[in-house]
Amino acid sequence: MKIRAATFNIRNSSAPDGDNAWPVRRNATVAAIEHLDADVVGLQEVLPDQLDYLRWRFPKYEIVGVGRDDGMSAGEHSVVMVRPGDWRVEKHETRWLSDDPGTPGSVGWDADLTRIATLVWLRHRNGTTIGVANTHYDHAGEMAQLQSSRLIARWTSGELPWIVMGDLNATPDSPPLKTLTESGLRLAVPIEAGGSWNDFTGVEDGDRIDHILVSAGWTVVEAAVSHYRPDGRLPSDHWPVMATLSL
């Protein structure tokens, strides 16, 4: 039984990005998502207008996740897209990366911004259930990054097979990533696959801050960073990261 998973920070639509602003590149972003050919995609920095656009462009997909500001529609979302086919959403919930994970809008530790994780339980047509966690760590708070990893490690412990993915704003050798790997998760994408942060420059050897990790039981069949540029257009200031997994 296989699943192809991907994570992609699409860059929020409110950023003053000039020639790389959302209205200019949104078709390229959609093309980049389609190019991943993934069963499940975790997206970060999705604002409500972007979510509306994605729902329009991917009408057959299940897209779940709430806004970080109020637990409903306000603010950035870390949504999970599920392609129609072998997998369907059994249930989902959003948790806040703070010492009060059930309180919408709560800010954790030394974080600069409110941060969330969207947890989704997927059921295969054969009855197998897996967990997917899509998250976006804070960019500034080192303690918040570390504590976020401790939360994620706790939430994904147990016998259920988990896929953890997102923009962790931390490199593979950093304390937040080591916390996850020491908990039993392992990185699915080899370091030599390239960087994921390009800052709208197109570099392919920037920092790897976007990750897919898997729990015990998963076999990594294929994994890569996608440097696809539809019609030469950068789809985001991040490159998507993908992995084909077997259970």
Please tell me the predicted confidence (pLDDT) of residue 55. 98
Please tell me the predicted confidence (pLDDT) of residue 126. 97
Q: How confident is the model at residue 36 (pLDDT cuts 50, 70, 90)?
A: very high
Number of domains making up the chain: 1
- For residue 136, give its domain range: 2-246
Q: What is the pLDDT of residues 123-167, one digit of tens each?
A: 999 999 999 999 999 999 999 999 999 999 999 999 999 999 999
Indicate which CATH number applies to the domain containing 160. Answer: 3.60.10.10
Q: What is the pLDDT of residues 186-228, one digit of tens each?
A: 999 999 999 999 999 999 999 999 999 999 999 999 999 999 9
The pLDDT of 35-41, averaged and rounded, is: 98
Q: What is the 3-state secondary structure (H, E, C) of the chain?
A: CEEEEEEEECCCCCCCCHHHCHHHHHHHHHHHHHHHCCCEEEEECECHHHHHHHHHHCCCCEEECCECCCCCCCCCECCEEECCCCEEEEEEEEEECCCCCCCCCCCCCCCCCCCEEEEEEEEECCCCEEEEEEEECCCCCHHHHHHHHHHHHHHCCCCCCEEEEEECCCCCCCHHHHHHHHCCCEECCCHHHCCCECCCCCCCCCCCCEEEEECCCCEEEEEEECCCCHHHCCCCCECCEEEEEEC
Please tell me the predicted confidence (pLDDT) of residue 59. 98
The pLDDT of 72-91, averaged and rounded, is: 97
Please tell me the predicted confidence (pLDDT) of residue 33. 98
For all residues of the chain together, what is the average pLDDT? 97
Please tell me the predicted confidence (pLDDT) of residue 26. 98
Please tell me the predicted confidence (pLDDT) of residue 119. 98
Please tell me the predicted confidence (pLDDT) of residue 24. 97
Please tell me the predicted confidence (pLDDT) of residue 138. 98
Q: What is the pLDDT of residues 105-135, one digit of tens each?
A: 999 999 999 999 999 999 999 999 999 999 9
pTM of the shown model: 0.97
Please tell me the predicted confidence (pLDDT) of residue 96. 98
The pLDDT of 53-74, averaged and rounded, is: 97
